[in-house]
Structure 1
Amino acid sequence: MSQPSQQPRPRLDARGAVDLSALARPATPPPGSPGGLPTPATYVRDVDQSTFADVVQSSAQHPVVVVLWAPWSEVSQQVAGDLAAIAEEDAGAWLLARIDAEANPQVAAAFQAQSVPTVVAVLGGQPVPLFQGAYPREQVRALLDQLLAAAQANGVTGRVAAGPAPEVPPEPALPPLHQAAYDAIESDDLPAARAAYDQALRENPRDVMARAGLAQVGLMERTAGIDLRAVREEAAARPDDVDAQLAVADVDVFGGAVEDAFDRLVELVRRTAGDERERVRLRLVDLFELLGTDDPRVVAARRALTSALY
């Protein structure tokens, strides 16, 4: 199946693949709420890490189409809406599984999703890449027709059982200081957000989400109002300039190219010494906090950083 050109990703899903302002939000926005997708229809399911295996198993009976989306991405929400409409038209010939990539980074990593939206079919337990980025609905229809033909040829001809959409649990409340920081980020008051996270850490130095929030705010402050093209041109022209390389790494992380940023900074650690090396190391550690220590990209980059240092 043909692949369209990948669309640039304007923001990062901070705990795996996210809108930076969504880092403070502990869960996917409930369907029908601001930032959430419409309430699931008959042949649409919202899936997370805990239910992902069940969906993959069901692909032995009928095709499953997975759309990885993010609350910040209007394109991914539009693609999810188009797929939901087609799923209803096909009346159970296949199931649409909607997965918030930023809330479920392990699932996104399993599909090797580098951006949202990413759309992958699962047929008999095997992934079948369909497309990434924006895609015209008529071409989506054509890809799904090809998928259904492949399913027919492989004997996967079951139907999705119609049933009521699953109930969505209410979004848990944030601790007061986290809520204050989140509200400040939503209103573009980054100093207030920083103050709230600082206070949260004073009250609980082990508050992992507050540390991640501070890293998030720092990245937003450093990238506010920058000229993306100028930053990239400067980094290309001055490969040994620490400031230029730190700036383009921030841009890469903000845009979702996390591995590129980490590789760039680890290599810069190898080429620098003294205070400059320490600046680069500290920036890497700060970015690690942003994504979380369990993110596989952070795990790999920590190993590479240790090797570069010692």
Structure 2
Amino acid sequence: MEHQSPAPTATSDTSTLIKDTNLQGFGEDVITASMQRPVIVDFWADWCGPCKQLMPALEAAVTEAAGAVTLVKVNADQNQALCGQLQVQSLPTVLAFWQGQPVDGFQGAVPPSQIKAFIDRLIEISGGAQQSNPIDAALEQIDALYDAGEYMQVVQGCQQVLGHEPGNIGTVIRLGDALLKMGETDQAKTILTQLDPNAINDKDLKARLERLNTALELSAQAESAGDIEELERAIEADSTNYQARYDLALAHQAKGNLEAGADALLAIIMRDREWNEDAARKHLLKLFEVEGADSPFTLKYRRRLSSILFS
């Protein structure tokens, strides 16, 4: 029997779905991995013409399945003992494992339609287990925690994901968002300002980053706001002191009281819509952007703004 060489390392983008293995790696790559989702094992050899016809079609079908199954390739010439254990007598032979056991298989180069039917059966057997990759599954859980207001757990979850995939832009954005919600503005700014919105292809992520950058901008403005009581006294002394009203809006915003801030901005718009190049309305629109189009705050104050502008 020939000496068994280590399995080559996959270098394509599908390396998490398609890999090579040998006798030493079979337990982890196939038996253990099949406890999570079906694993297809392709036994092949360099001299086998049908193997070279089957493999590209098999790889394409596994890629198209988007994580519902994985493919492990075994060079039969280099793993004769493994072939003997699994009673592989002709090439190509394809076996499918689920929950540690062989559940289906075929021999020879079959057409793509049969490969698809084969994979569909495996997905049905497994109930579609893990059709998304672990990172996607983790992000779904993180989003659920965010919606529940569990921002500290969101931060912890994002840090774990970034430990495995440091360049995951969606995770970085989620981390920055959660830090902003927790009031950790400096940390959020350090993380988010390193990202270039123009380099992000996902339009939803790009919009989310732009919204967060707007939130950072508003936060920076609020840092220079004055004392609320002093500003209120200045307004009481002069109702046309629109700068004081604007600063009051920022001061309320800095305290997290967006409604009081919006009220101060609307008071300016009611009295002088064009003051300081429409600064009050523009600032209010930024608050709408940060809070989201469907938030109760935005819906309430957008209605009030419309009633003032169109009265």
- Compute the TM-score of the two structures, normalised by the length of structure 1: 0.39
Q: 1 or 2, which has the higher helix percentage?
A: 2
Calculate the TM-score normalised by the size of structure 2: 0.39
The higher-RCO structure (CA 8 Å, 6+ apart) is 1
